[in-house]
Amino acid sequence: MRFLIDFFPIALFVIAYKMADIYTATGVLMVATLVQTGVIYAIDRKLQTLHKVTLVLVLVFGALTLLLHDERFIKWKPTVLYASMAIVLAAALWIWKKNFLQILLGSQLNLPANVWARLTAAWVGYFLFMAGINAYVAAYYSTEDWVNFKLWGYVFPVVFIVGQGLYIARYLKEDDAVEKKP
């Protein structure tokens, strides 16, 4: 269910682009992200930092795209988001000696500190990869290709998250797995 909620704005963005243009799609993305954020808040009664940052960036870069009639802003929004997340996670872990991933998920997963550090390093690498690949496609490919990449590029997070699940599975105790089931 959560995957569908997360995929909803991108799917509508792609449909709007195919039916109209990048500017219509940007407006649809802005509204869909507002709706998505409202749904997440209604379900969880709170918003994670990533949801707040995503909403702000979509609204700011979307508004710049529409006001300046320049598609580059919406195309570079994912690069800014991914690079920001990588910088925050890396700085927290290696400069401030805080593991934000563990702080966010530690109550749900009981993992050794070194595993949390490896997971965070993997997320930093993933975010840098996603920032780089989005920047490359945004800079060197057509808007049509970039929109298609946004749709089919969803394979990257799915593969990464499945890989993360396989990695941490060996560190989870049977008791933890039984206790966490609803």
pLDDT tens track for 61-74: 999 999 999 999 99
Q: Work out the number of other CB atoms within 10 angstroms of the CB of residue 134.
A: 23
CB 177, CB 143: distance < 8 Å? no
- Does 75 share its domain with 146? yes
* Structural domain boundaries, residue 143: 71-182
Q: What is the dihedral of CA 150, 129, 60, 158, to 10 degrees?
A: 50
Residues 48 and 116 in one domain: no
Instruction: Output the pTM of the full model.
Output: 0.86
Which among 21, 53, 68 is the end of a domain? 68
pLDDT on residue 88 = 95
Number of domains in the chain: 2
- Band of the pLDDT at 181, cuts 50, 70, 90? low
Domain check: are 31 and 90 in the same one? no
